[in-house]
Amino acid sequence: MVVEARDRVGGRTLTAPVAGGSVDLGAQWLGPGQERALGLAEELGVELFRQHIEGRKLLEFDGELRTYRGLLPRIPMLALADLGASIQRLERMARKIPLQDPMSAERAAELDAISIAEWIARNVRTEAARTMLRIAIQAIFAIELKSISLLFFLHYTHAGGSFTRLAEVREGAQTFRLKGGAQQLSERLAERLGEELRLRSPVVGIEQGSEGVELRVGAGEGGELLRCRYSILALAPSLVGRIPIAPALPPERRLLGDGMQMGSVIKSVIVYDRPFWREQGFSGEAVSSGAPLRMVFDDCEHDASLAALVAFTVGEDVGPLREGGGLAGRRAAVVEHLVQLFGPEAGEPVDYVDHDWSDDVWSGGGYAGVMPPRLLSQVGDALRAPVGRLHFAGTETATRWCGYLDGAIEAGERAAAEIIARLGEA
């Protein structure tokens, strides 16, 4: 049985109707190498189309707007060389981190003792290269760099192939979109479950004994107890940490729940009457070191029936945007930044939708959980280790593409295999 707190399936995927079409306010892209997610889409008959990338890209760098076409923007030559060398060094370091067990890497404790922010401060010489790395990493993790352990960063990027692959659209993690939206993956799976899916059923307490597990579902009079032999908690570790569990989980597991922070992201979709940026030779892709938007992409429907841009506000920029006067305030701030990037035509949207994932109690943030310095060294082993009859899934426990849809599928398959292996036991 699947027990789901919300009135819908899909978790951190959320496909919303807008202006006669549909847009993804949660996960949106798949990429080469994500064999599980690509395989699931195929199995479920969800078609893919390529992210639109044709045209010039925009970089807003310390208030100055530049356009470029290739992978790297036009920044001063010395800074470009510094940036390229720093990325190569990070890629080399990442390749040496074992995916199953990052703590078994050489000098693991040392790598875990500092943040990626400290590594950049010590190793990247030019200010422009530091800024470029900062905005790329914020875009990938949706959290400030001081909150990301260097070892965690290296493991996470290796798990997705490489840092470059995570950052890139073309042949990277942002290559494909799903026709009709990413939430369909869960919706179509849910159709197979019938009565074995319970929506609006938050698990508010768990008790396990030698015979089985009792889940307390819902509070107050409507609450009930569900009994089972084994349970998989397919949640981010910080959400597991919020559920009272008896007997108490081991200290490392509790530390994991307290210490692994979710990123912060507001994802906005801005709808226009036509894709004016395409007409002007722009791809719709923009990266900014300013606020509130860190990056923007073309978000038109595959047949261009809906013209839209999708924009991300991440990390510490989320707070000010959230406090800026409700939906109308957020819309005004996002549109103002888009005008700065794409010109006055961006100022005339026909619709606007967004989702603040940090304000969403059943996700607690997004895109995923991130480990600050020294957490992995203390709790690394606890991430996937079952505790009695409780098993742990969720993208954060994956060894490949952790943080992504693909990782969530790997984790689910692994946890299911663990239970299947135990089903013969008493």
Ligand X SMILES: Cc1cc2nc3c(=O)[nH]c(=O)nc-3n(C[C@H](O)[C@H](O)[C@H](O)COP(=O)(O)OP(=O)(O)OC[C@H]3O[C@@H](n4cnc5c(N)ncnc54)[C@H](O)[C@@H]3O)c2cc1C
Handedness of CA 98, 396, 51, 44 (dihedral sign): positive
Instruction: Report the residue number, 267 or 337, with the smaller CB distance to ligand X.
Output: 267
Q: Which of 74, 104, 248, 362 binds ligand X (CB under 6 A)?
A: 362
Cis geometry, peptide bond prior to residue 292 (ω within 30 degrees of 0):
yes
Q: Which of 132, 137, 203, 333 binds ligand X (CB under 6 A)?
A: 203
The answer to whether 6 contacts ligand X (rule: CB under 6 A) is yes
Handedness of CA 130, 121, 164, 76 (dihedral sign): positive
Distances (CA, A) of 307 to 67, 75, 99, 262, 368: 22, 31, 40, 31, 28
The answer to whether 179 contacts ligand X (rule: CB under 6 A) is no
Burial degree of 69 (CB within 10 A; 0-12, 13-18, 19+): exposed
The answer to whether 176 contacts ligand X (rule: CB under 6 A) is no
Residue span binding ligand X (CB under 6 A) among the ranges 62-70, 228-236, 274-282, 372-380:
228-236
How many chain residues are in contact with ligand X, going by CB under 6 A? 33
CA within 13 Å, CB half, 376: 32
Instruction: Report the residue number, 11 or 161, with the smaller CB distance to ligand X.
Output: 11
Instruction: Report the residue number, 34 or 86, with the smaller CB distance to ligand X.
Output: 34
- Which residues in 387-416 contact ligand X (CB under 6 A)? 394-395, 403-406, 408
Cis geometry, peptide bond prior to residue 367 (ω within 30 degrees of 0):
yes
The answer to whether 368 contacts ligand X (rule: CB under 6 A) is yes
- Which residues in 306-345 contact ligand X (CB under 6 A)? none
Q: Which of 114, 228, 243, 387 binds ligand X (CB under 6 A)?
A: 243
Residue with nearest beta carbon to ligand X: 11
The stretches of 264-359 forming alpha helices (DSSP H) are 276-279, 318-322, 326-342
The answer to whether 218 contacts ligand X (rule: CB under 6 A) is no
The answer to whether 234 contacts ligand X (rule: CB under 6 A) is yes
What is the DSSP annotation of 246-280? ESPPPHHHHHHHHH-EEP-EEEEEEEESS-HHHHT
The answer to whether 226 contacts ligand X (rule: CB under 6 A) is no
The answer to whether 11 contacts ligand X (rule: CB under 6 A) is yes
Q: Which of 105, 135, 213, 235 binds ligand X (CB under 6 A)?
A: 235
Residue span binding ligand X (CB under 6 A) among the ranges 56-64, 130-138, 187-195, 359-367:
359-367
Residues in contact with ligand X, shown as a per-residue x/- string from 259 to 298 under the rule CB under 6 A: ------x-x-------------------------------
Q: Identify the three-state secondary structure at position 208.
A: strand
CA neighbor of 364 nearest in space, from 275, 272, 241, 281: 241
Q: Which residues bind ligand X (CB under 6 A)?
A: 3-6, 11-13, 26-29, 202-203, 234-236, 239, 243, 265, 267, 357, 362-363, 366-368, 394-395, 403-406, 408
